[in-house]
């Protein structure tokens, strides 16, 4: 397995001792892989393993920390069972992250939980939305000014099919290649997008760079094919964790996955200089209007 993937034994979601090497791997853009850490469904949740539960027009089924399930269709009973399952997953993901990274605990913001019942390999999407291409996560409408995107994923496939990812090179070497291609940040444009309601808050120079990197990476067929990358199979019944704004990733195939997102200001990392904001600020040579490091 690649040096960017660190396997961690253990099958319980709590009581885990924080280990420095895990944080080092995570903050340098690696993936922590827990092959035996399963999110188990109860008997009455098994019928939720069907792709038709996703409403046709929605990308994923999701549920905010305080709110109702979005993007799903089904009977009242099914939607209630789905909501319970998603809350249970959120609870376990929170326990895991708090156990592993106690220093982050007070600073994490809980973002939506998602359930992805659709087979990835046969799904067609526009190039920008296509997560089958290597990318770092960045949100067009939700500027985050350098906040970290920490994600916990669990493969709940009942047929033992793995979730297959490609994991790319370190963020900094990617950024060094692509930054020279990126058009400069224009503050007036950011204000216009905000005024038109395209973005929910002002897009900072950091957000501009991250979105441009996301788009350039996904559009570049040569990069997709020839950039350094490792195929990783996350087994059914496993869990993995990464900073998805930093880890270059693409999903090739798999069906039925849970995911929990957390946001965190980078200054609460052990090594803020290793964050995308830290790296891009260093490479740009000036502040990027992100959160102060």
Question: Which spans of this chain sit near ligand SIN (rule: CB under 6 A)?
Answer: 116, 131, 137, 163, 244, 249, 251, 257
**Chain residues 124-143 in contact with Fe ion, contact rule CB under 5 A:** 137
Residue 99 or 253: the one with the smaller Cβ distance to ligand SIN is 253
In 3D space, the residue among 46, 48, 5 whose CA is nearest the CA of residue 167 turns out to be: 5
Which is closer to ligand SIN, CB of 100 or CB of 120?
120
Tell me which of ligand SIN, Fe ion, none is bound by residue 163, counting a contact when its beta carbon lies within the kind-specific cut-off of 5 to 8 angstroms: ligand SIN
Q: Minimum distance from CB of 164 to ligand SIN (Å)? A: 9
In this complex, which beta carbon is closest to Fe ion, that of residue 137 or of residue 207? Answer: 137
Pick the closer one to ligand SIN by CB: 108 or 251. 251
Q: Which does 251 bind (CB under 5 to 8 A by kind): ligand SIN, Fe ion, none?
A: ligand SIN
Question: Least Å distance between CB 287 and ligand SIN?
Answer: 28
Instruction: State the minimum distance, in angstroms, from the CB of residue 147 to Fe ion.
Output: 16
The residue number with the shortest CB distance to Fe ion is 137
Q: For residue 147, state whether it binds Fe ion (rule: CB under 5 A).
A: no
Residue 255 touches which member of ligand SIN, Fe ion, none, C-beta under 5-8 Å by kind: none
Side-chain half-sphere CA neighbours of 15 within 13 A? 4
Nearer to ligand SIN, 63 or 281 (CB): 63
Among Fe ion, ligand SIN, none, residue 147 binds (CB under 5-8 Å by kind): none
Neighbours of 27 (CB within 10 A): 20
Closer residue to Fe ion, CB minimum distance, 137 or 205: 137
Dump the DSSP string for the chain.
--TTEEE-----SSSPPP-HHHHHHHHTT-EEEETT---PPPGGGGGG--GGGB-TT-SSEEE-SSS--BSB-S-HHHHHHHHHHHHHHHHHHHHHHHHH-TTTGGG-EEEEEEEE-S-STT----TTT-TTS-B----SS---TT-EEEEEEEE--TT-PPEEEEEES-HHHHHHHHGGGSPPP-HHHHHHHHHTTSSSSPPPHHHHHHHHHHHHHHH-HHHHHHS-EEEEEE-TT-EEEEETTTS-EEEEE---EEEEEEEE-GGGSS-GGGSHHHHHHHHHTS--SSS--
Closest distance to Fe ion from the beta carbon of 137 (Å):
4
The interface partner of residue 72, options being ligand SIN, Fe ion, none and the CB cut-off 5 to 8 Å by kind, is: none
Size of the site for Fe ion (CB under 5 A): 1
Q: Which residues bind Fe ion (CB under 5 A)?
A: 137
């Amino acid at each position: 397995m690649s040096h960017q993937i660190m396997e961690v034994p253990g099958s319980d979601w709590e009581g885990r001792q924080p280990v420095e090497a895990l944080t080092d791997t995570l903050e340098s853009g690696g993936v922590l892989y827990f092959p035996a850490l399963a999110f188990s469904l109860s008997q009455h949740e098994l019928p939720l393993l069907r792709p038709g539960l996703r409403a046709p027009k929605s990308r994923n089924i999701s549920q905010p920390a305080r709110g109702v399930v979005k993007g799903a269709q089904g009977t009242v009973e099914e939607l209630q069972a789905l909501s319970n399952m998603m809350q249970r997953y959120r609870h376990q993901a929170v326990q895991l992250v708090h156990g592993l990274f106690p220093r982050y605990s007070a600073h994490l913001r809980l973002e939506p939980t998602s359930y992805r019942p659709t087979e990835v390999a046969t799904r067609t999407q526009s190039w920008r939305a296509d997560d089958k291409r290597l990318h770092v996560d960045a949100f067009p409408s939700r500027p985050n000014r350098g906040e970290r995107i920490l994600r916990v994923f669990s493969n709940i496939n009942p047929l033992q099919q793995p979730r297959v990812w490609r994991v790319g090179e370190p963020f900094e070497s990617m950024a060094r290649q692509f930054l020279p291609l990126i058009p400069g940040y224009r503050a007036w444009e950011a204000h216009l997008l905000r005024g038109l309601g395209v973005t929910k808050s002002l897009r900072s120079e950091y957000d501009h760079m991250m979105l441009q990197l996301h788009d350039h990476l996904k559009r570049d067929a040569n990069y997709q094919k020839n950039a350094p990358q490792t195929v990783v199979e996350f087994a059914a019944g496993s869990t993995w964790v990464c900073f998805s704004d930093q880890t270059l990733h693409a999903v090739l195939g798999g069906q039925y996955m849970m995911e929990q997102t957390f946001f965190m200001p980078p200054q609460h990392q052990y090594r803020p200089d290793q964050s995308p904001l830290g790296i891009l600020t260093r490479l740009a040579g000036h502040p990027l209007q992100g959160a102060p490091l």
